[in-house]
Amino acid sequence: MVAEREVAVERRNLSPAALYEEAVRRGEATIVATGALTAETGKHTGRSPQDKFFVKEPTSQDAIWWHPGNRPIASAKFDQLLAKMEAFIATHEVYTQDVFACADPRYRLRVRVITELAWHSLFARNLFIRPTAEELEDFEPDFTVISMPSVKADPSVDGTRSETFILVNLGRRIVIIGGTGYAGEIKKSIFTALNYLLPAQSVFPMHCSANTEPDGSDVALFFGLSGTGKTTLSAEPSRRLIGDDEHGWSDRGIFNFEGGCYAKTIRIHKESEPEIYTATESFGTILENVVFDERTRIPDYDSDEKTENTRAAYPIDLIPNAVLNGMGSHPHNIMFLSADAFGVLPPVSRLDEDQIRYYFLSGYTAKVAGTERGVTEPEPIFSTCFAAPFLVLPPERYADMLVERVKRHHSDVWMLNTGWVGGPYGVGERMSIAHTRAIVRAILQGDLRGASTHVDPVFGLQIPNRVPGVPREVLDTRDSWPNPDDYDRQAEKLRAMFEKNINNIGKSASSAG
């Protein structure tokens, strides 16, 4: 195993306090006034999906969905970059955390994370499930992640796109990460691995948040891309949080893959998100790229000076109503969240079987119009199964698993627009969070299950005629536009984008080897 190779200094399974000391001693991070540790990720303030490669090797190459997002790399190239990493490890301090992925013991994956940076080791400890002292005594990893930001690739020699690389070797159960200090690559590499490993065990891997009633009943799932409200809506004080990002659906129910949360902090406020805000301001939490006052060391969560993608990584037990065993029953309700900047999707609609498959494969949201000259319209974002960068198998495999489970367990599936109503970005208004919460509450209380509906003329969606706490004019998107003809044109335009995207998915999947 990699961990048995020559190591200059290895610091294994250090506590948060010890890792604070190491990170500060090495100049990697700063302790801010709240007690959190803040660190900068360098030039990479988010993931680098174009620098991720799968090793083309006999045990997995016929199963992988080979498309532009899943690039192959030869085993020999992986070996030479791994050798470069091992040479670095042999002359530098490294930090090892032995952790688990998957709360359900039947599917538990033992993960060894070896990092160059002390704060990355704390990140792994926060985000994954922490073993007991007894479980660590005979710990042997099923999967190893090695993250060394100082090790950079030479594209002309190593076959990479740039000096940054994330190489996934499913045969040898190793991921190596170099040239980037963004910690999110560590957790997402294991999510990628689980998207490959779990379907073979009849578990549906999902990029979603999940919560439940206090008694453990009435589980709800929230699928959505960044900025759609996935974390905010699942962190509801009246319900218990199972997890905020990654889950599996087995024959017993839902289980969290992780033991922590990775919340966006840009413009976070205590009044609107009290549980997340309190966790963000706690000892043991890592703040990524958050600006703070050099004198007082008070964080400025409103500042996007370094990036919009400011983050807090903390153990889930800092959320007071969290389900600490990370498990729940089969979901009664599933919500697809889309922040539609075109302003044409209804605030809520109930999906039939064909629509569930269609909108799950679409994984839609939209960015607001850019500031560059000539960019005047929103930009559609389609992420297949709400998880395109992490899918390993053809997307239809995941869609089939979702539809089969929805039918077997009689789950209701809804699509919510958390974006714009009354017109597109710049004309309409952002959907009120109070109205979205009222919709979610009505869904969870069963108020919409038998409600009368009308059909959206462009998308064919079933829109409830009434939702308690939401004005009628908000529910009917077309009527909320100043000019319904403008709505029709904009809606037809977006529908055409959906169709083009679905056709492209079909072409990619049919050509996958």
Catalytic residues: 47, 188, 207, 226, 230-231, 245, 311
As a whole number of angstroms, the distance between CA 386 and CA 416 comes to 14
As a whole number of angstroms, the distance between CA 398 and CA 98 comes to 29
Query: 10 Å Cβ neighbour count for 73?
Result: 21
Distances (CA, A) of 143 to 169, 178, 371, 390: 10, 17, 43, 16
- Cβ-contact 194, 109 below 8 angstroms: yes
- Cβ-contact 55, 169 below 8 angstroms: yes
Residue 291 tokens read as 């600006």
The interaxial angle of helices 118-127 and 16-25, nearest 10 deg, is 150
- Cβ-contact 351, 456 below 8 angstroms: no
Q: What 3-state DSSP class applies to 53?
A: strand
Going by C-alpha positions, the residue among 141, 140, 145 that lies closest to residue 167 is: 145
As a whole number of angstroms, the distance between CA 340 and CA 196 comes to 30
Strands 327-328 and 291-292: unpaired
